[in-house]
Structure 1
Amino acid sequence: MLTFFKKPIFSDFRFIFTVYALAALLISIRTVFVHDANNYRIFYFSLEHLINGLSLYNVYPAQYEDHYHYAPTFAAFFSPVFLLPYSVGLFLWHFLFTGVWVYAIYRMPLTHQQKVFAYWFSLHELFTSIANSQTNPLIAAIPLFAFLCFEKKQYFWAAFFIMLGFNVKIYSLVAAALFLLYPQKGRFLAYMVVWGILLAVLPVLYTSFDRLYWQYEMWVRQLFIKSDGDKWANTSIHRLIHLFISPDIASSVIIGLGVVLFCTVYVHVKKFELRQFRLLMIASILIFQVIFNPVAESPTYITAVTGVMFWWFCSPKTWFDKTLLISCFILTVMSPSDLFPRYLRDEIVKPYVLKALPCVLIWFRVIYLMHQPMSAKDTVLADNQLVNG
């Protein structure tokens, strides 16, 4: 079997991109003609509500289930899609986010074989998210685009991507942690303010300033409601701690301790110039924003799995690293699949949050590696890969 997958065709980007395109096509066909998509309904009707001056955050059971949780900017930014007929927009939605994630990996400073590995390893996880018509592939791609802009000293566009992510899902702001690794920090922060204002007022294309201000008040209120969710209804380190340590530990304490541990790596100022350290920071950011999210769900794990790829490319490949990677593929990537035994999934993986466990352990491994000695010769990727990748 392994010999079969070593054939050159499986390393050919044209073949890989065709596989991703066909998978997106099948999901679009199934969603449009068979299952529909509640998540996309929430997105689609947000623009109509914005234009009509209705609260984006009320319940509209005749149109969709659940709530809209995004900033008003989200509805305006994706208006070119939401202005299309419903079925057309839904059909294109899956191609949009599949393409964004695939392109982000392609542009990263990785070797050809590393990109190939990332594409095949993450394939199922990506489509776990896409099948739910989620925006998570974009959330996984945004820190990568921001990283590329930082590397090229394009701080204006780095700020744009980070603020765009914030307006989709607020925990995307974690990607701003990258700016401390680069010079011209003041300029970047100024650009963050500029983009924050521009994106915040973007919805005035469809509504008045007064109604927009009111929408932001509703958004903040909705965020507090969402963050106060059921502690047993998430797939994250929060539920693992509540299951195996104590259900009385507050989520704010868990997040606070995670932030402190995340920030300990900044003591290694001399390592900031090492590409390996910066790629491990990308891994830490991508995994952190999922496992410490108290409302994380299974489809969000394309972001964490993307981070796992960058950890793997920088890891020393010990037996421990290999065990972690295999456990991630089995428990995180494949456990939601029909190929995984249903009994194990329903009786062991879901009750004990084993989908999250490998990513949690890998994040701690990332932090450990960032504290270990490293030198320029340890950098796994040549500088010119940034341009050619």
Structure 2
Amino acid sequence: MRAKRNVLTFLGEKDWLITLLWFGFAFLGAITEISRGQYNNFLIFRQVFFHLVHQQPLYIEYPSEYFDVNLYGPVFSILIAPFAVLPIKIGALLWSVAGAGAIFYAIRQLPLQRVQQNIILLLCSQELLGASGWFQLNQFILALLILTFAFTIKGKDYLATLCIILGTLTKVYGIVGLAFFFFSSHPKRFIAGLFLWTGLLFVLPMAISSPAYVINSYQEWLMALVHKNAKNQSDLASFQDISAGGFIKRVLRLPDLNDLTVLIPGVILFAAQYLMLRFRNDANYRYYILCSVLLFPVLFSSSSESPTYIIAVPAICIWYVIQTPARWKNIFLFFAILLVSFSHSDVLTPWFRKNLAVPYALKALPCLVLYLMIVYEILTRQFLSITKSATTPVDSRLQELTHA
């Protein structure tokens, strides 16, 4: 396993290789599905803009235009607008590449050594490949959450709160960025930013539609989300609810298990991490909270599906690069990435995907284990025993492992 860490460090030192691999995977994932004519998600996204401009309902089916329904907030019409006005295939391709660019930029804003950032990008590249082929919004949600963290600890509260509100008014997941409020050096400015951006982004779509239409659309959006949540919980045979709740229901064969049975303990555990808030200025504590924030909306949402894990996988990688080297951590990383990023591919065989990964929502398992481990290590203050800070270069810590 030491050789594996050496390989990661060797590759992580090559900026050009990481950049080429990262954007190459995004391009490959998108262009492969475009060539097959499979870009339904982008058609949904694209039409949000035109439906809003023409003040048509945003949350009903349009079978002549695309399959399924839109589930994103009215402000999403502004985000998708530059891509919607392009020819469909070009817009779809650029949408996926832009999502990769957003994550790339966000990772670069983390106060980590360059090689650590590159290792995170390298380990997330397979998950990006899949998400890019699905033309997901999740890449942008991930970027917004990481940027919220980075901007908050850098004192850029207005930019941090912009990311929170933009994420919340598009896919709700962005609301978990509020967890970083306690890292702000200017709490009053942070709160002011929340009110400022909520007002501005709420009314922004009205500039290309009308106030009454946008207000009504937000009401319809809420009803659509409630309906979608109920549907996800009732259909365990689908590719939805690949979450902690979905995993428990499938493994224990409890299809009628109330999601609150899993969500409430999850929330309590998340809140318990703030019992150690006196260590808010400790870099490792901050990164542990970031990892929890990235894991939480994926693990405890019934709408989580395979491409949603582009949000969770970076948590595994960030946790790994800040650790004091240990063999078991290398082993955990190997199996976590294998199970999360490759369980829905042919790498672990189609039989594994069909009979184990999908029926039992196995993508959630490593993330759930890490979530519980992070909470435990915070409550027992084990993050303080990490001998090197998160800003110590990985290659320096590698020498400790090699000579251990």
The letter of the residue matching 1:381 is A
User: Residue 36 of structure 1 aligns with which residue?
Assistant: 38
Partner Cα separation in structure 2 for residue 177 and residue 383 of structure 1 = 25
User: Residue 287 of structure 2 aligns with which residue?
Assistant: 279
The letter of the residue matching 1:16 is I
User: Residue 376 of structure 2 aligns with which residue?
Assistant: 368
TM-score normalised over the length of structure 1 = 0.92
Partner Cα separation in structure 2 for residue 325 and residue 382 of structure 1 = 20
Partner Cα separation in structure 1 for residue 392 and residue 151 of structure 2 = 14
Partner Cα separation in structure 1 for residue 232 and residue 386 of structure 2 = 47
CA drift of 1:320 comes to: 4.2
Q: Is the 8 A contact 2:205 2:214 kept in 1?
A: yes
CA drift of 1:340 comes to: 2.0
Partner Cα separation in structure 2 for residue 225 and residue 367 of structure 1 = 32
Unpaired runs of at least 5, structure 2 = 394-404
Aligned residue runs from structure 1 range 237-256, under 5 A:
237-245=244-252, 246-256=254-264
* 2:199 corresponds to 1:197: yes
Aligned residue runs from structure 1 range 18-167, under 5 A:
18-167=20-169
Q: Is the 8 A contact 2:9 2:119 kept in 1?
A: no
What whole-Å deviation, never above 9, does each CA across 1:107-165 have from its counterpart, x for those lacking one?
21122322222122111011111110001111111121111111111111100001111
User: Residue 398 of structure 2 aligns with which residue?
Assistant: none
Change in CA separation of 1:163 and 1:65 when aligned onto 2, cut-off 3 Å? same
The RMSD of aligned alpha carbons is 2.4
| Larger displacement relative to structure 2 (15-24 or 93-102) | 15-24
Q: Is the 8 A contact 1:69 1:219 kept in 2?
A: yes
User: Residue 235 of structure 1 aligns with which residue?
Assistant: 242
CA drift of 1:28 comes to: 3.5
The letter of the residue matching 2:285 is F
Partner Cα separation in structure 1 for residue 137 and residue 86 of structure 2 = 18
| Larger displacement relative to structure 2 (324-333 or 194-203) | 324-333
| Larger displacement relative to structure 2 (16-25 or 116-125) | 16-25
Partner Cα separation in structure 2 for residue 10 and residue 171 of structure 1 = 30
The letter of the residue matching 1:105 is I
Aligned length: 385
The letter of the residue matching 1:238 is G
Change in CA separation of 1:22 and 1:241 when aligned onto 2, cut-off 3 Å? closer
CA drift of 1:178 comes to: 0.8
Q: Is the 8 A contact 2:8 2:119 kept in 1?
A: no
User: Residue 400 of structure 2 aligns with which residue?
Assistant: none
The letter of the residue matching 2:378 is M
TM-score normalised over the length of structure 2 = 0.89
Pick one of 328, 343, 359 that aligns with 1:335: 343
Change in CA separation of 1:257 and 1:148 when aligned onto 2, cut-off 3 Å? same
| Larger displacement relative to structure 2 (308-317 or 232-241) | 308-317
User: Residue 399 of structure 2 aligns with which residue?
Assistant: none
Unpaired runs of at least 5, structure 1 = 385-389
Q: Is the 8 A contact 1:20 1:98 kept in 2?
A: yes
Q: Is the 8 A contact 1:229 1:295 kept in 2?
A: no
CA drift of 1:275 comes to: 0.8
User: Residue 387 of structure 1 aligns with which residue?
Assistant: none
Percent identity of equivalent pairs: 27
Q: Is the 8 A contact 1:136 1:303 kept in 2?
A: yes
| Larger displacement relative to structure 2 (356-365 or 238-247) | 238-247
CA drift of 1:342 comes to: 1.4
Partner Cα separation in structure 2 for residue 350 and residue 6 of structure 1 = 29
CA drift of 1:27 comes to: 3.1
